[in-house]
Amino acid sequence: MLKWWQTIKVHWSNMLVYRVNFLLMVIGPVLVFFFVKISLWYSIFQGNMQTMIGNYSLSDMLTYHLWTMIVMLISRSYNFGKLSEDIRLGRVSTYLIYPFSLWEFQVTNFLSRLVIQLFIALFCLLILVTTFSQYFHDIIAINFLKGLMLTIFVGIFWFSLQYLIGLLTFWLEETWVLAVIAETVIQLLSGNIIPLDLFPQWAARILEYTPFPYVTFVPVKMIMGAGGDFLPALANLVFWIIILNFIVLLVWRKGLKLYTGAGM
Amino acid sequence: MITCRGLCKNFEIYQKEPGFSGTLKSFFNRKYKTREAVKSFDVEIPEGQIVGLLGPNGAGKTTLIKMFTGIVVPSSGFVQIIGYDPAKRDRRFRKKIALVMGQKSQLWWDLPAMDSFQLLQRYYEISDADFKERVGELSELLDVKDLLQVHVRKLSLGERMKVELMSCLLHKPEVIFLDEPTIGLDLIAQRNIRQFIQDYHQRNHCTIVLTSHYMADVEALCSRLVFILQGKKRFDGDIVTFSNLLGSEKNVVFDFDRSVNDHSLLTPFDPHWNADCTRVELRIPHEKLKEATIDILRNLPVVEFNTEKLPIERVMKTVMENPDLLETNRRESQE
Amino acid sequence: MIPRIKYYLLLYREFVKTCFIEAMSFRLHFILLIVMDLVFYASVFASVDIIYQHVETIGAWNREQLMFFMSFMLAVNHLQMSFLADNYWELSLLIRQGNLDYLLVKPASSLFSTFLRRVSAGSTTLFIVPWSCMIYFGSRLSFPWIAWVILPFLVILAFILTGLIETIICCSMFWMLEGVGINFLRMQLQQVARWPDFIYASFIRKILTFIIPVLLIYNAPSRFLFDFSDWLALVGMIMAIAAGWVILHFLWRVCLNSYESASS
């Protein structure tokens, strides 16, 4: 347990040494994206609190995007880059030798980021909700907690996805392209730009069979009190996480065989 | 050809206390310290000379090279290379110099060397005829004809260094700066590179400034040695004078038939023992050689001994550990 | 003058040649780059299309106008991705590893060598996509023939302005411990610039038009094409380019003078 705590502290130190990078790479993009979306939707609604688009009023839409921002801030991982580098430069060997596996290292990485990102998300939430309270719905504690719970699992999902992309470095020199493709696709299809209930019917129906809605839309709606039952939603998300991690395990095993076989 | 007076370079280094609380503190308030990398450096290098810049890590050798090539701007002082101020980065100046850094490569990693050469041909506006001739001549001298179409990342370190050297000579520079060109190479590769530089210099009479940790590089190539310690020039002269810095001392090696535990007799002569104390290397001044040798032979179980001139590595190491020796020597030679 | 131009043209031709040769040896990466760009284009158009299924106008613009604006944006973005983007990412590496030294020693403009050295072969092949969309939506807006004549010049002007702004921003890498974060800052500004300026509040719009003129990049030419009497912003854009050119050259000299070069 102690070594886990030590590793988490080291991760925090690393994050803070490159402090500006941390702000620009982790926090900045989410805040700017939020700002752009809010501006766009305010403009679409023409600042009119009475207008309805689908079943969204301006206040509904602004609240929706407030929560997408919070969900993003808490759940996003950026760990594929380091794993990718570790594989490319042959540093995975050191993890195989040390009494602390690569998996354990990545998980402590995840936990250390989660804590920091939670703090930052709550801080941003506090500022926005107190300053612009007239635009946003009131927060209902039980819904918020349910959504937060889901969001933490979304974090595990993102982490696993990034881990999978990083592992593909065993075969592909540069995996950042895959990370960008994943980000672009998920951003649209998870309802991050436009809520999924404004999508055409046929698209929304197909998406129900994918993990995408659970990445943003479902947790956000849960916080807003319109997300249906908590347990089925959690079960679905956990199902997709299990599938993803199963793939991760397969890829890791295959990759390790290639790695040690080639004496990289 | 190369003149510099009072050249100085200072860097700002950021300081952090250890531990997590130190990291947090430095997040909000960073402290900086000034480091003097080069202090008041003077040197005059005439055309066609090969000069070795020697010194331990962090002495300021590479910073000097960077100031000579215009990469880094001096904090103060005057420097002129073939009539140009490097900091002004005149295009004509850059066409006449070349830089090779042993630890960094200018070749494209994922391409054959020849593709990088063709790019360099464009940079330096080398005519097709000249280019063909240079590539042929240099690849012959360096024995790399078969390697030019191989991806650079597939070459060994020694082969990479050869094509790296070749790339910097295509445009027939007048001044060549070599920053640790043999670092990390095996002995044979080092010898090949040295031989090539020597041959090239003899044919082309260019000026070469070489930095190295390896005395073998300097001994083989340089007629003149400039020794730098903590950013200051501590010695500037020929190799012979440098090697005699510690007086005319001899390096004497004694082998014993058993472990020697009493070292008192040998302590005044800077002894270097092997692991089981059966062999020792001493520095004995010339005038004390006979007396000391007789003493040791009489009192210790010597089976073999031999005497030789003090190797330059030893001089270098001793001087680095006792920089005042340089001061003493300078004062003595002035008296 | 002419010999110098010829020198740089020949040098640039060599840059393009080496980049293409290099790209061809990584075929999967080459294809993935194309996929990444296509996914991005699809996501942009899909987002706009879905929104317009619920409203007639956003601000004063109808669907065709916003689609044209997006096509214009993508055409400029295509040029930026093809000819500039890789250099910005490379710059942080060049500074960190000290390989910038070699560029500074070459007898060519260091600005030219640093920011135009890399060409993204994969991205260049997609030229046809944004231009086809521009032509399609432009024809639906019944552009007069003169608009078609000046369109390529406007795209190039926008490309020059975006290049100047982003290059100026990248100069700050010389003073950063790790310059990767600056690239994210650059991308966030791109994100803001990608939407019509009327969606932003007046205060923000003024800053992003007069101080960091990212909102001029796509808006000024588009608005001019929609209505030739709306030429003021275009003039502002040209002035911004002139100012940017001067600032960049001055700033680059400052950067080089303070360059400390990674120690060996």
User: CB distance C106–B94 less than 8 Å?
Assistant: yes
Residue B57: burial class (beta carbons within 10 Å; 0-12, 13-18, 19+):
exposed
Please report, for residues A167, A187, C119, the alpha-carbon distance to residue A178 in angstroms, rounded to integers and kept in the order given: 11, 14, 20
A232: three-class secondary structure by DSSP: helix
- Residue among C31, C54, C203 with most chain A CBs within 10 A, to mutate: C54
**Average model confidence (pLDDT) across chain B:** 86
State yes or no: pLDDT of C122 exceeds 80: yes
State yes or no: pLDDT of C147 exceeds 60: yes
Confidence of residue B55 (pLDDT cuts 50, 70, 90): confident
State yes or no: pLDDT of B213 exceeds 50: yes
User: CB distance B102–C7 less than 8 Å?
Assistant: no
C28: chain A residues, CB-CB within 8 Å: 172
CA distance B299 to C256: 66
Q: In this structure, what token pair is assigned to residue B326?
A: 């340089």
Mean pLDDT over C193-205 rounds to 94
State yes or no: pLDDT of C223 exceeds 90: yes
CB B246 within 8 A of CB B318: yes
pLDDT at B148: 93
User: CB distance C11–B123 less than 8 Å?
Assistant: yes
Per-residue pLDDT reduced to its tens digit, A100-139: 566 777 788 888 888 888 988 999 899 888 888 888 888 8
Chain B residue with minimal CA distance to A7?
B20
CA distance A160 to A166: 10
CA distance A53 to B162: 69
pLDDT at A264: 44
Q: Which residues contact C16 (CB under 8 A, 6 or more apart)?
A: C119
Q: In this structure, what token pair is assigned to residue C67?
A: 């689609």
User: In total, how many domains does chain C have?
Assistant: 1
Mean pLDDT over C116-122 rounds to 93
Q: In this structure, what token pair is assigned to residue A40?
A: 């766009």
- Range with top average pLDDT, A5-14, A86-95, A160-169, B319-328: A160-169
pLDDT at C219: 96
pLDDT at C43: 96
State yes or no: pLDDT of A13 exceeds 50: yes
Cα Rg of chain B, angstroms: 24
One-letter amino acid identity for A127?
Answer: I
Mean pLDDT over C195-199 rounds to 94
Backbone angles phi, psi at C147, to 5 degrees: -65, -40
State yes or no: pLDDT of B332 exceeds 60: no
Backbone angles phi, psi at B36, to 5 degrees: -90, 100
Confidence of residue C179 (pLDDT cuts 50, 70, 90): confident
State yes or no: pLDDT of B60 exceeds 80: yes
Closest Cβ opposite residue C14 in set B72, B105, B118: B118
B131 vs B223, higher pLDDT: B131
C249: chain B residues, CB-CB within 8 Å: none
Q: Does residue A59 sit within a domain?
A: yes
Strand order in the sheet with B31-45: B31-45, B2-15, B76-81
pLDDT at C130: 95
State yes or no: pLDDT of A178 exceeds 80: yes
Instruction: Tell me the residue range of the domain where A43 lies.
Output: 2-258
Q: Does residue A218 sit within a domain?
A: yes
Per-residue pLDDT reduced to its tens digit, C32-58: 999 999 999 999 999 999 999 999 999
Confidence of residue B210 (pLDDT cuts 50, 70, 90): very high
pLDDT at B246: 64
Q: Does residue C264 sit within a domain?
A: no
pLDDT at C258: 86
- The 3-class SS string of chain C reads CHHHHHHHHHHHHHHHHHHHHHHHCCHHHHHHHHHHHHHHHHHHHHHHHHHHCCCCCECCECHHHHHHHHHHHHHHHHHHHHHHHHHHHHHHHHHHHCCHHHHHHCCCCHHHHHHHCCCCHHHHCCCHHHHHHHHHHHHHCCCCHHHHHHHHHHHHHHHHHHHHHHHHHHHHHHHCCCCHHHHHHHHHHHHHHCCCHHHCCHHHHHHHHHHCCHHHHHHHHHHHHHCCCCCHHHHHHHHHHHHHHHHHHHHHHHHHHHCCCCCC
CA distance C1 to C104: 22
pLDDT-above-90 percentage for chain C: 82
Nearest Cα to B271, choosing from B247, B237, B291, B296? B296
Per-residue pLDDT reduced to its tens digit, C228-258: 999 999 999 999 999 999 999 999 999 998 8
Q: In Å, how far is B232's CA from the nearest CA of chain A?
A: 33
Confidence of residue C264 (pLDDT cuts 50, 70, 90): very low
Instruction: Tell me the residue range of the domain where C193 lies.
Output: 2-258
- Residue among A30, A39, A207 with most chain C CBs within 10 A, to mutate: A39
User: In total, how many domains does chain A have?
Assistant: 1
Q: Does residue C263 sit within a domain?
A: no
Q: What is the model's pTM?
A: 0.86
CA distance A110 to C107: 48
Assembly ipTM: 0.90
pLDDT at B123: 95
Mean pLDDT over B149-167 rounds to 90
pLDDT-above-90 percentage for chain A: 43
One-letter amino acid identity for A173?
Answer: E
State yes or no: pLDDT of B321 exceeds 80: no
pLDDT-above-70 percentage for chain C: 98
Measure the CA angle with vertex C127, ends C124 and C133; round to 5°: 155
pLDDT at B268: 86
Mean pLDDT over B1-16 rounds to 84
pLDDT at B21: 63
Mean pLDDT over A89-96 rounds to 68
Q: Does residue A263 sit within a domain?
A: no
Q: In this structure, what token pair is assigned to residue A69?
A: 């921002």
Q: Which chains touch C (3 or more CB pairs under 8 A)?
A: A, B
CA distance A218 to A192: 11
Per-residue pLDDT reduced to its tens digit, B263-316: 888 888 888 888 888 999 888 888 888 888 898 889 899 999 888 776 667 777
Mean pLDDT over C208-235 rounds to 94
C25: chain B residues, CB-CB within 8 Å: 110
Q: Could you tell me which residues of chain C have a Cβ less than 8 Å from any Cβ in chain A?
A: 26, 28-29, 32-33, 35-36, 39-40, 43, 46-47, 50-51, 53-55, 58-59, 176-178, 180-182, 184-185, 187-188, 191-192, 194-195, 198-201, 204
State yes or no: pLDDT of B331 exceeds 60: no
State yes or no: pLDDT of B104 exceeds 50: yes
CA distance C210 to C240: 8
Q: In Å, how far is A141's CA from the nearest CA of chain C?
A: 32
pLDDT at C232: 93
